Structure formats: structure tokens, C-alpha cells
Chain A
Amino acid sequence: MELPYWKAIFRKETNPVKEIFLFLKKTALFEGLPNKHIREVARLVHKRTYHPGEIIFRQGQKGAGLFLIMKGKVEINSSSEGVTLSLAYLDDHSFFGELSLFADEPRSATATAKEETTLLGFFQPELETLIQTKPRTGNAILLAFSKVITKRLIGTNRLLESAYFRAKKKKEIHEP
């Protein structure tokens, strides 16, 4: 039902922190963490909206932290020597850009919103604030991040390993 104007002006939005908290609880990154810790993160993250085709960050640009996809789709691609490679299509509850949270390195890929996308940004200053003001939460978050990054590293290692063995096998077939 459409509200009259004066009521629409004073209509209360749903509590953004609560909405973010409920979303974060369902993400792989914060799964299993106590509610208290997730609520602290929800208080600190930045909610941003991107239009279709809008670049979230560019490869080579200095980054400040990671993004979680609350709603929408994001494409990750990398360019090198004139060749652009689409690395991944990410959707709700995925996250990207986590390396910039811990290292002052330039972004290794470009992220582009593919549709109307809502992201939650969690950046270096917020992580620092959390570690300083709520050390327990900070530790729990750091542990959660390191688990996820380790998982990704193991995956990358496996991929490299299998690629290496495949290449070696191919070489053996061609040069008996």
C-alpha cells in the first residue's frame, strides 16, 4: 500500500545493522562465529550500492579491504599483456578482495558489478578498530579470515599441482 508523502518521509527503515547482522550470519566467512562478534562486524561494515557495469575496483589499484556480496552479481577478471581473462562470476554471500585486507599490495584483478549490486565493505581501518577496541572479536575475525584464506591457498596449491602433473604427463606422452 502506498503511504501518503508525510508518512513516507517519516517511515522507519528496517534497522540496517540488524539486516547486515542477519546476512553476515549466513556467509561462509562468519559462519559459526558467536552472534556477539558478528554484531560488532555488522556495526563497522560499509554498505555500498553499485550499478550494472560499474567497476568496484581496478587491477593494479591500491586496495583497502574485502567486499561481501549482499545482493547481485560480480565479475572478476584479470588482464595481462593485452589479454583479459574472466576469472570468476560471484553472487550472493560470496566475498572477494580479501588479500588487500592484510597486504598493501595493488589489486590483482578487476571487479565489475554485473547487475544492481549491494556490497558490504570491510576494510583495514575497521579491522584495526576491531582489534584495538574488541580484541576478542578481532582475534575471532582474524582466525575466521585465516581459515578461509588457508582453504583458498590449499585449493590453489592443488590446482597448481594437478596442472603441473598434467603438463608432465603430456610431456612424457610426447617424448617417450
Chain B
Amino acid sequence: MNHRSSIYGKTEIFLQIFFFIIVFAIVLVLLIGIKILGIPILLSIITYYALHKLVDTCESYGMNRSFAILILFSAFGGALYSIFYLYLPSTLSKLSPFLTYWSEQFEEPDNHQFVEQIDWLLRVDSEMLQKAFPPGEIAKAIINYANTTVDSIIDSIPNIVTYLLITPLISFFLLLDANSIYKSFVSIVPNRYFEMTLMITHKINEQITGYLKGLILQSTIIAIIGSIGFYVVDLKFFVVFGIFLGFANIIPYLGPVVGMIPPAIFALISGGSLESVYPVAAVVLTCQLVDNILVQPTVIAKSASLHPILVLIGITVGGNLLGIWGMLLAIPILSVLKVTLGVMYRSLREYGVL
């Protein structure tokens, strides 16, 4: 018997070490996975929060949950995919050679139209200033910047396609199985803090759902108004620019500027003069007015609003870590963190833990 238990002792130690190695390996793989799949995972979580109430409603009418998710996905996905696959590549392929052509034009000393525009814009009178910042160089830099931006968007298309495939998959399982995932998560909480954890996570969930629903509603409204505005001012690809404006609007303060860059550059190139940018600016300004006066006060919760400095820090850090996606996702993540911390702090005080 003793001999038997000593063998079991060794086996147990072996199994324990084996178990921890596996746990370590899983954590390692997860960490690497998060680095690669960070953006699709974040997008899936956002999709989950945006859609789970809708799926719940469908389920309450007796519809099978997975069927409800599939129907919602086909509806949203169909619209999104048709825009990305049918509309965007042709736009970009048309735009890119056009930009390259323009930048080549600037290499030639004869072409001065754009340089003159920049010159006029800066109203450079002083000779010294003109020497320090030659308008030609500035114009060239702007075009180069526009070129690299378009190139980087084209380069990121394979990434976007991967995200468009992986995000719905993760979102689907989140929407389907969130309850059991959540149950296994809370099952490891010690008995003492169990009820408290349940109530806090419930409240946080409600707040995040409310905030993200508001954010999506806000972006959609701005995208629709933007698209209509761009259509009225007779800008080509008005839907793409409108949607981009709506997306960029997620970033407070800087969003409208970021959202204006592509349509403004496009208007500048197709119109050939600075005057053609004015209608675009007017549309963006109208969107901002509607957003600030009507949409934001009714749709976005006050508890989720961030200080401008925090917004700036968030965008910088997010942009550094995950590029343009990081910039877009930084503010929702920060707002969610703020809401979460707020609820946690108040609840922990209520339960007498803090």
C-alpha cells in the first residue's frame, strides 16, 4: 500500500507540474493570440454589447438564439460586406494611381497650381518665412502624406478582410454562449465575494451596453447625415466618406478633423482648388452641430464622458499601440473603463469593502 501511495505521490507531482506547464502554455498562447487577435476580440466584444439586447428580444419572441444571431449577422454583415467588397476596392484602385500621378506632377518644376494655392493659404509675405518653409515643400509633404495614407489603407485591406472573417465568428460565439462563459468566470470567485461580484458585473454590463448602444447610434446618425450632406454637395463616393465620418466621430474633439481629411483631400484633388473643400467642411460642420446639440446630450451618458486631456492621452497611446484601430478603439475602451471603475467604486462602498 505504501509503495502504491509513493508511486501515486510521484505521479501526482508529475501531474501537477504537467498541469501548470499546460496552464502556462495556454496563457502564453493566449497572450500571443491577444497580440494578434486583439483588434478582432475587441471588435467582437463591442459587437456583443451592441447586439445582445436585440438577440434577447428576438429570443423573447420564441426565436431560437443561434437563428436570431444568424439573421442579425446576415442583415448587418450583408450591408457591411457589400460596401467593403463592392464599393471600397474600386474606389481605392481609382484613387491610388490618381494620387501617384499628382505626386509625380509635383516633382516637375513646371506645375505650380497647388503650390500657389498653398502659398495663398499661408499668405506668406515675409521672405524669411518663405525660405524657412518653402510652399513647394509644404505642398509636396501634404501630397506625400496623402499618398502614404492611401497606401497604408490599401496595405491594411488584407488585415481588414481577416478581421471581417474572424470578428463575426468570435461575436457569434460570444452572443450564443456569453451566459455560460460568464457563469464559469464567476464560479471561481470565492463565496464571500460571490453575490457582490454578481451584482457589480450586472451593473457594469448594463452601463457598458447603454454606452456602446449610444455610441453606435451616434455614429450611425452622423454617417447618415454625412452621406446625405456629401451627396447634396455632389461629392463622389459620398457613402464611403459618410461612413468614415461616422466612424471617426467616435473620437471626441479630433474625430471630425480625422473624418474630414479623406473627403477634403478627394475634393481638393477632383476640384483642383481650395474652394472645392469648403462644401465638405460645411457638411462636417453641420454634422458636428447636430451631434453636439441634438445627438450627444440625448444618446451618450454623462458618466461615460472623458476629460479632453484623457482623450488626447488615450488617442496617442492607442495610436502608438495599435495604429489607426487603436486610435478608434481607445476612447470606447477608456469610457468603458471609466464606467466600470465608477460602478465598482460605488458598489464596493455600498458593500462596505472600500
Contacts and interface: CB of A to CB of B under 8 A. Distances in A.
Given A44-B179, A133-B59, A50 B199 contact: no
B126 interface: no
B195 interface: yes
A121 B194 contact: yes
A56 interface: yes
Contacts of A135: 60
Summarize A's interface: helix, strand, loop or mixed. mixed
B195 A134 contact: no
A125 B195 CA distance: 11
B210 to A, nearest CB: 15
Interface in B161-207: 179, 183, 186-187, 191-192, 194-196, 198-199, 201-202
B56 A133 contact: yes
Contacts of A134: 59-60
Given A5-B11, A56-B191, A64 B198 contact: yes
A123 B59 contact: no
A128 B56 CA distance: 11
A46 B187 contact: yes
B180 to A, nearest CB: 8
B56 A132 contact: yes
B191 A123 contact: no
A130 to B, nearest CB: 10
A123 B56 contact: no
Nearest to A44: B179
Interface string A49-72: 010001111000111110000000
Contacts of A50: 191
A124 interface: yes
Given A44-B179, A133-B60, A135-B60, A63 B195 contact: yes
A44 to B, nearest CB: 7
A124 B114 CA distance: 65
B59 A125 contact: no
Nearest to B8: A5
A123 B197 CA distance: 12
Nearest to B351: A62
A135 to B, nearest CB: 5
Given A132-B60, A133-B56, A64 B183 contact: no
A44 B179 CA distance: 8
A11 to B, nearest CB: 14
Contact of A64 (B15, B179, B199): B199
B195 A57 contact: yes
B199 A125 contact: yes
Nearest to B350: A62
B333 to A, nearest CB: 24
A53 to B, nearest CB: 12
B32 to A, nearest CB: 26
Interface of A: 5, 43-44, 46-48, 50, 54-57, 61-65, 121, 123-125, 128-129, 132-135
Interface of B: 11, 15, 53, 56-57, 59-60, 179, 183, 186-187, 191-192, 194-196, 198-199, 201-202, 350-352
21 contacts: A5-B11, A5-B15, A44-B179, A46-B186, A46-B187, A46-B194, A48-B194, A50-B191, A61-B351, A62-B351, A64-B195, A64-B196, A121-B194, A121-B195, A123-B195, A124-B199, A125-B199, A125-B201, A129-B179, A132-B60, A133-B56
